[in-house]
Structure 1
Amino acid sequence: MKQRERTRHLIELGGLVMKAELVTLTDDDRAVILGLLIEAAAKLRDDDRERHLSLWRRRGRRVFETVALPPAD
């Protein structure tokens, strides 16, 4: 059961990368996508962590509210 939960979690995370259009905007360059994620992680380690989290949370919620999600199976 744990493997199934892990697989679902990874699929959901991949969906977020797709929803953010990172695959399209980077021409599916995995090194660039990883670099973007590393850059975000670095920002979360600095003194402005809470400001970054707040900004990114608002942006993410806005997209979740405006983009239609596919129906669940």
Structure 2
Amino acid sequence: MNLAAALATSRGALRRVTIARHRLQARAARYDHREWQVKRRERTRHLIELGGLVMKADLVALTDDDRAVILGLLGEAASRLRTGERDRLLMLWRRRGQRMFAADTLPDQD
């Protein structure tokens, strides 16, 4: 066997071992039950779900994916929740959200 063939064989073997190692590490990470890892996965899932709500409300399309605008909208909602209208606003927005989940569509306007 010449040197080039031996090198190609070695590279192929290294590639297969590297792929197998990555698969093993990924599998181990899925079943990692250390407390900090579990909390990290829970937080990640929560953030993904919240991002899904932003998408479901069509805020990304309506703002042309302008994250400053989206943050401003959320900041405005938070500001309004700090007023005396908090309970009324929560009730109103909860009902609207429940209707949106039930209909799986967005209302045109109120």
TM-score, normalised by the number of residues in structure 2: 0.60
- Structure 1 runs, 4 residues or longer, greater than 2 Å off: none
Question: In 1, distance between residues paired with 2:86 and 2:103?
Answer: 26
Identity of aligned residues (%): 72
> In terms of Rg, which structure is larger?
2
Count of equivalent residues: 68
The answer for the alignment partner of 2:100 in structure 1 is 63
The answer for the alignment partner of 1:71 in structure 2 is none
Q: CA deviation at 1:30?
A: 0.2
Question: In 2, distance between residues paired with 1:42 and 1:50?
Answer: 13
Q: CA RMSD in A?
A: 1.0
Q: CA deviation at 1:62?
A: 0.3
TM-score, normalised by the number of residues in structure 1: 0.90
Unaligned runs of 5+ in 2: 1-37, 106-110
Unaligned runs of 5+ in 1: 69-73
Q: CA deviation at 1:66?
A: 1.0
SS of the aligned residue for 2:93 comes to helix
